[in-house]
Amino acid sequence: MPVFEHLEECMGTVFVFQGRSSLTEFELNAALKIACDKLHEADRIFSLYKPESPLSKLARGETSVALCPAAVDAVWNLCEKWEQLTGGFFSPFTLDRTFDPSGLVKTWAAQQAIDALLSAGVSDFSLNSGGDIWLSGHLSEADDWKVGIAKPVTIASEDAGVLTVVNLQNTEFRAVATSGSAERGSHIWNPSSGTMAESELVQVTVLAKDLVTADVWATAAFAEGPNSLNRISKVDGVEALFVFKDGRIDGTEGFAEVLRGSI
Amino acid sequence: MLLESSNLYTFQKPIEGKRRYRTSTIVLSVLSLVGAVGIDLWLNPNALTLLAGVSGPTTVGGVSSATGDAIESGFGPVQVKVTKESGKITAIDLIQAQSTGGRDAAFPLLVEAALAANGSNIGNVSQATYTSDAFKQSLDSALSKIK
């Protein structure tokens, strides 16, 4: 089947679709266009960098959720669900109680894009949404099941490279998300203390069955710090790998199991 | 490793003539894998010392190998044997790995998993969200290296 790759710049980062499809070039381009439109639509609605976005207006108190596009209400509800599931460590509310779902919108929109491609008949592909990886269940290339986990340094650095590699073939996991301070410095709040998440951690990588779950838990774990290991260990279908600032690592037993399966 | 980049130009034509992009990710993957071989360098700062001041390195026909001291990784002791060929690390073997199982065994597992994937084309690398600028910067740097 013909190989395709498409890069889309959106939300200040880059989304990479890679895979194989038997669609014609015309059909595939049309499907990718629909998928990428989902990303841009989410950006238009949720970006707090765009002063005229519904979310910016909401933050300034110029509108209400009821007057915003339906997606705002859907994401709001989703955020509340995740806040509860993560013991409050994933929070869409800033200190002054404005709604900032940025931590979830990227992968939420990525999931919409994935669904659009799937319903267009493209099923053998992966999506890298700015460092969070999703794999379809139908990857025909053995290598595509392998996902590298970056060293906790920026990809622009000379030292950039992978820390390890997980092979997700024959596992229940389809998503790998990483949170950390390597790319954009401290940018994750600890909702319980109201300060920037500063812990011994430099990076957390989470495996889950879907992208949003992986993303949210990675963010929550980084915000909570090493104690989140116990919390995540009790969650079904979610595994984590922690990298400490001093180079130590820790992780859930399930993550070690996936590594064993990758050897 | 960089020889693999010759595959770049034999890949099927990507859509919209975005050949450069296919090229880019392959280059990035290849570079990433080069990085994988040096995994313990970052993971354990002591490993730098390990490589620099190893005990009794042996050299046979340009291939040298050295066994480091067992290092407390914070996750069980790990000892590695580093093989270099013409100054390039070609293998890292685990001599001693914690065998208590469970989480304690994770450190050696990381290295082994990375080495197991050595030489394959990894399509994706998970990392903290990068900016478009960092992405382009890494792309330019990777491309300049293979020119």
- Please list every residue in chain B whose beta carbon sits closer than 8 Å to the beta carbon of residue A27: none
pLDDT at B9 over 80: no
Rounded to a whole number, what is the distance in Å from the CA of A66 to chain B's nearest CA?
Answer: 31
**Does residue B139 contact residue A7 with C-beta atoms inside 8 Å?**
no
CB < 8 Å to A4, chain B: 14-15
A vs B, Cβ pairs < 8 A, gives 230
CB-CB under 8 Å, B110 with A164: yes
Contact (CB, 8 A) for A179 and A103: no
Q: In whole numbers, what is the pLDDT of chain B averaged over residues?
A: 50
pLDDT for B16 beyond 70 = no
Predicted confidence at residue A163, as pLDDT, reads 82
> What pLDDT is stored for residue B103 in this prediction?
43
Closest approach of A200 to chain B, Cα-based (Å): 13
Alpha-carbon gap: B26 to the closest alpha carbon of chain A (Å) = 11
Which of A39, A132, A165 best probes binding to B when mutated, by most B CB atoms within 10 angstroms? A165
Q: Which of B114, B71, B61 is nearest to B95 (CA)?
A: B71
Residues of B in contact with A130 (CB under 8 A): 129-130
**Is A16 close to B122, i.e. CB distance below 8 A?**
no
Residues of chain A with pLDDT under 70: 95, 154-160, 182-198, 247
Express each pLDDT in A168-222 by its tens digit. Answer: 999 999 999 999 876 655 556 566 666 665 677 888 999 999 999 999 999 999 9
**B146 Cβ neighbours under 8 A, 6+ residues apart:** B2, B5, B27
d(CA A170, CA A174): 10
Q: Is A248 touching B (CB cutoff 8 A)?
A: yes
pLDDT cut 70: percent of chain B above it: 18
Amino acid B81: pLDDT:
55
pLDDT at position A156 is 65
Q: Which pLDDT score is estimated for A107? A: 96
CB contact under 8 A, A132 and B126: yes
pLDDT at A4: 95
CB proximity B21 to A under 8 Å: yes
| Chain B, window 108-127: residues with a beta carbon less than 8 angstroms from a chain A beta carbon | 109-114, 116-117, 120-127
Helix (H) or strand (E) holding B146: helix B132-146
Q: Contact, A165 vs B36, CB < 8 A?
A: yes
In tens, the pLDDT along B97-126 reads 443 444 444 566 777 787 777 767 777 888
Secondary structure (H, E, C), chain A: CCEEEEEEEECCEEEEEEEECCCCHHHHHHHHHHHHHHHHHHHHHHCCCCCCCHHHHHHCCCCCHHHCCHHHHHHHHHHHHHHHHCCCCCCCECCCCCECCHHHHHHHHHHHHHHHHHHCCCCEEEEEECCEEEECCCCCCHHHHEEEEECCCCCCCCCCCEEEEEECCCCCCCEEEEEECCCCCCCCEECCCCEECCCCEEEEEEEECCHHHHHHHHHHHHHHCCCHHHHHHCCCCCEEEEEECCCCEEECHHHHHHHHHHC
Burial of B87 per CB tally in 10 Å (0-12, 13-18, 19+): exposed
* pLDDT value at residue B105: 47
- A3: tokens are 């190989």
pLDDT at res. A152:
78
Instruction: Assess contact for A164 and A170: CB atoms under 8 A.
Output: no
